[in-house]
């Protein structure tokens, strides 16, 4: 008798939602993913996974997921299914006409956060845009990273080069602007973060500096700071270290340039004013700086909270300068560069200012254009005005400044198409939505994390299932579009296109494999080439015999003299601006708004699975003293407003947030094509961020998100 039992298989893989890259086991029944569990045999993550990773099963099977190409047939959000051929033919025809009439700079891309964790998505999106001749790659990185990239470019000559704390050997760790027990680490791959931090705390100290008593702060020591005051704190700490003679003068003289200028700048900072600006007592700042300097194996680490204020570039640069001047850089237990298993030249050397925005003259950092300039680049006439737009795995209407203005801009485009899993608040204005594959449906390696892994690791994961429905991978989509436009291949250089004509398959992953084979673990060290075939025989992944770059860090610095550059005209200008606005505070009656990260949330795109969202209800966190001052009640409603807009939110009164500030997560306020997310409470705080150049730090294009002055008034029940 024939069995009706489902055909069940299991595939090892890894999660691609964040930089932890947790090992997973995907259970498939009759060709459909039904369960995702932690891979307890993965040597890197050893059975760790978070609730979001498991929820990718719900996203893959979500009834609201886009599984066939959609064409807009009415107002925003009104779509009908069509064939791939119909969609791609019309998109290709329109793109060709727009480029022929207005030039390639009339075409732009907006690239969202989820795509960065897919090698295929990230590289093929850039290849296609470059192939048509445009440099307009707008990206979500301007909401959380470009000031960090600029600081790295100034210091090390490489925008994507950042030092990481040596967690296994560190005894004294300062965490500022990061909540790694929830984020699992940003620009730092250490998936068993709590294990690492607990071990440091047992050996010494873990100190968390944050306006909110975060999940990480609750477990370790916490120093509360006012939002957007990090540059003050870091400058003051460095001044204290200089005054105490607690800096490594020999290292600074031999291995750095610009120290005299930076030292002069920070010594102008008044410590009492720093205490006022930060909300941290002067003696606490002094003790923190001296304790850090005295600890032989210490590091300071920061992330998103440092990247979204008025002086975020120098806040990041000064954090590194504290590690460097304090004698902690390039040493075990301190801060150093991660290992990199790919061949030299494979790591992107994206720089600064190769292009600037048409409106506002804002710089491109690490190849990323600032999202705040996008609405006006579409709406304002002139040479290079954007008339066609691709939105790849992004939702800037909810995540970027000027969402309402961007809606008007998107509606005015001659062509807008999106590659996504859902109908979102952004692509509801699109002419076409093309169905994307989830990471369960793709081969990949953890490319984005390779240079900042505390314990270097590599895994090649094959797709657990083929793309569901009619979904396609981005490489296939863009290659098909290029062919229909008469461009042939999307390979980005003539040399690569020549290799294609000789019969070599040129894809993002084949180039990564080539770089791996010729990297430090490849044939040049006498090993059998570490290619994908060999990695496929290690289904749980493998730890790499690559130490962190302690003594050899200079090989990874790309300044002309291989020295760390502590001063630059950009730094000089930013310190002049900083000095002119020292100790600026909000006006009477205003509070400082900052954002937070939630364990069960991921920006704007993971609110539809009921398992994640049913227990979530975003609320404005308010200190009891501020609640009493402004007549706010726990569980009540309030209006949060400034000159740019107003939103209505629920209120939670808590001592977890510092007095003088309020906290609310971003990415809410849904009205896209998600049946469940649209029913949830929540407001879009991006409406309070301003418009255009006024909404960003001009040298980096990074959006001001933390420390936004607002008024909060109660709403009667």
Q: Kindly report the length of the chain.
A: 717
Residue 469 has what pLDDT? 98
* H/E element, 512: helix 508-517
b/e burial code for range 292-309 (CB count within 10 A of at least 16 → b): bbebebbbbbbbbbbbbb
Give the mean pLDDT of 375-403: 97
% of the chain surpassing 90 pLDDT = 84
Q: Which of 613, 662, 671, 669 is nearest to 641 (CA)?
A: 662
Q: What is the pLDDT of residues 62-82, one digit of tens each?
A: 999 999 999 999 999 999 999
Beta strands 298-302 and 172-176 are parallel
Average pLDDT, the chain: 94
Residue 588 has what pLDDT? 64
Per the rule left: phi > 0, alpha: psi between -120 and 50, beta: everything else, 407 is alpha
Residue 603 has what pLDDT? 85
Beta strands 645-653 and 619-622 are parallel
Backbone angles phi, psi at 662, to 5 degrees: -130, 155
pLDDT bucket at 695, cuts 50 / 70 / 90: very high
Number of H helices, E strands in the chain: 24, 31
Q: What is the pLDDT of residues 532-564, one digit of tens each?
A: 989 999 999 999 988 888 878 888 899 999 999
Beta strands 702-703 and 696-697 are antiparallel
pLDDT bucket at 626, cuts 50 / 70 / 90: very high
Q: What is the pLDDT of residues 262-311, one digit of tens each?
A: 999 999 999 999 999 999 999 999 999 999 999 999 999 999 999 999 99
Give the mean pLDDT of 510-526: 80
Say if pTM beats, i.e. exceeds, 0.75. Answer: yes
What does the block give as tokens for 132? Answer: 């048509």
> Which residues face 107 on adjacent strands?
388
* CA atoms within a 13 Å half-sphere pointing along the CA-CB vector of 44: 30
What does the block give as tokens for 135? Answer: 């440099």
Residue 282 has what pLDDT? 99
Residue 600 has what pLDDT? 82
Give the mean pLDDT of 139-153: 95
pLDDT bucket at 526, cuts 50 / 70 / 90: low
Give the mean pLDDT of 153-161: 94
Distance CA 147, CA 153 (A): 10
Residue 411 has what pLDDT? 98
Residue 582 has what pLDDT? 63
Residue 274 has what pLDDT? 97
What does the block give as tokens for 421? Answer: 């899993």
Domains present along the chain, CATH in parentheses: 8-60 (3.30.200.210), 70-135+345-452+457-543 (3.40.50.740), 152-339+555-576 (3.40.228.10), 586-715 (2.40.40.20)
Residue 522 has what pLDDT? 76
Residue 236 has what pLDDT? 99
CA distances to 379, 652, 655 from 145, rounded to whole Å, are 26, 29, 29
In contact, 313 and 570? CB cutoff 8 Å: yes
| For residue 232, pLDDT beyond 60 | yes
| For residue 153, pLDDT beyond 80 | yes
Q: What is the pLDDT of residues 603-612, one digit of tens each?
A: 888 898 888 8
More confident residue, 493 or 698: 698
Residue 349 has what pLDDT? 56
pLDDT bucket at 587, cuts 50 / 70 / 90: low
| For residue 639, pLDDT beyond 60 | yes
Residue 345 has what pLDDT? 67
In contact, 297 and 304? CB cutoff 8 Å: no
Give the mean pLDDT of 482-510: 91
Residue 611 has what pLDDT? 82
Distance CA 276, CA 325 (A): 25
Residue 242 has what pLDDT? 99
| For residue 456, pLDDT beyond 60 | yes
Residue 717 has what pLDDT? 77
String of DSSP letters for 339-359: P--SPTT-S----EEEEE-TT
% of the chain surpassing 70 pLDDT = 97
Distance CA 157, CA 565 (A): 8
Give the mean pLDDT of 621-641: 98
């Amino acid at each position: 008798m024939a069995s009706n039992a489902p055909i069940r298989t299991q595939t090892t893989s890894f999660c691609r939602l964040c930089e932890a890259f947790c090992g997973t086991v995907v259970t498939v029944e009759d060709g459909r993913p039904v369960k995702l569990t932690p891979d307890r045999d993965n040597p890197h993550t050893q059975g760790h996974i978070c609730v979001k990773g498991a929820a990718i099963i719900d996203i893959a099977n979500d009834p609201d997921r886009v599984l066939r190409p959609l064409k807009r047939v009415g107002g925003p959000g009104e779509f009908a299914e069509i064939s791939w051929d119909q969609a791609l033919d019309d998109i290709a025809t329109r793109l060709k006409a727009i480029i022929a009439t207005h030039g390639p700079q009339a075409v732009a891309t907006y690239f969202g956060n989820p795509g960065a964790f897919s090698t295929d998505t990230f590289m093929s999106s850039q290849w296609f845009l470059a192939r048509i001749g445009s440099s307009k790659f707008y990206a979500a990185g301007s909401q959380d990273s470009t000031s960090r990239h600029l600081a790295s470019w100034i210091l090390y000559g490489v925008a994507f080069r950042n030092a990481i704390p040596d967690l296994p050997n560190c005894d004294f760790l300062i965490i500022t602007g990061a909540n790694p027990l929830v984020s699992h680490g940003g620009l730092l791959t250490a998936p068993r973060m709590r294990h690492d931090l607990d071990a440091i705390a047992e050996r010494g100290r873990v100190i968390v500096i944050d306006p909110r008593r975060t999940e990480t702060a609750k477990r370790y020591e916490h120093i509360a700071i006012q939002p957007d005051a990090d540059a003050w704190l870091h400058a003051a700490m460095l001044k204290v270290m200089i005054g105490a003679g607690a800096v490594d003068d020999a290292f600074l003289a031999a291995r750095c340039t610009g120290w005299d200028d930076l030292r002069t700048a920070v010594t102008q900072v008044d410590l009492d004013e720093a205490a006022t600006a930060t909300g941290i007592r002067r003696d606490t700042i002094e003790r923190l700086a001296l304790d850090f300097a005295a600890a032989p194996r210490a590091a300071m680490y920061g992330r998103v909270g440092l990247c979204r204020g008025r002086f975020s570039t120098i806040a990041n640069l000064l954090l590194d300068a504290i590690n460097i001047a304090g004698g902690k850089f390039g040493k075990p237990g301190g801060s150093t560069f991660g290992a990199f298993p790919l061949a030299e030249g494979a790591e992107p050397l994206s720089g600064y200012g190769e292009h600037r925005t048409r409106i506002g003259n804002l710089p491109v950092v690490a190849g990323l254009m600032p999202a705040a300039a996008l609405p006006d680049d579409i709406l304002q006439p002139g040479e290079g005005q954007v008339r066609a737009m691709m939105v790849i795995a992004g939702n800037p209407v909810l995540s970027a400044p000027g969402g309402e203005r961007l809606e008007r801009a998107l509606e005015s485009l001659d062509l807008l198409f999106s590659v996504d899993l859902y109908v979102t608040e952004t692509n509801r204005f699109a002419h076409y939505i093309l169905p994307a594959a989830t990471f369960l449906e793709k081969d990949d390696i953890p490319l984005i994390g390779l240079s900042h892994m505390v314990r270097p690791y590599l895994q090649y994961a094959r797709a657990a299932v083929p793309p569901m429905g009619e979904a396609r991978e981005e490489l296939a989509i863009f290659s098909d579009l290029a062919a229909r436009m008469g461009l042939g291949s999307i390979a980005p250089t003539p040399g690569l296109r020549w290799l294609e004509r000789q019969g070599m398959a040129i894809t993002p992953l084949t180039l990564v494999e080539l770089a791996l084979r010729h990297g430090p673990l490849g044939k040049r060290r006498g090993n059998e080439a570490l290619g994908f075939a060999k990695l496929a025989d290690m289904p749980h992944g493998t730890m790499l015999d690559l130490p962190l770059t302690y003594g050899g860090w200079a090989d990874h610095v790309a300044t002309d003299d291989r020295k760390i550059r502590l001063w630059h005209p950009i730094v000089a200008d930013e310190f002049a601006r900083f000095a002119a606005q020292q100790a600026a505070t909000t006006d009477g009656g205003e509070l400082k708004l900052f954002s937070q990260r939630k364990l069960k949330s991921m920006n704007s795109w993971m609110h539809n699975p009921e398992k994640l969202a049913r227990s979530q209800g975003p609320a404005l966190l308010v200190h009891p003293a501020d609640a009493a001052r402004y007549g706010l009640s726990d569980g009540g409603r309030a209006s949060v407003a400034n000159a740019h807009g107003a939103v209505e939110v629920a209120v939670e009164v808590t001592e977890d947030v510092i007095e003088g500030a309020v906290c609310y997560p971003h990415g809410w306020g849904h009205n896209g094509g998600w049946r469940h997310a649209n029913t949830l409470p929540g407001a879009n705080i991006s409406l309070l961020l301003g418009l255009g150049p006024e909404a960003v730090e001009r040298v980096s294009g990074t959006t001001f998100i933390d420390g936004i002055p607002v008024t909060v008034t109660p709403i009667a029940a």
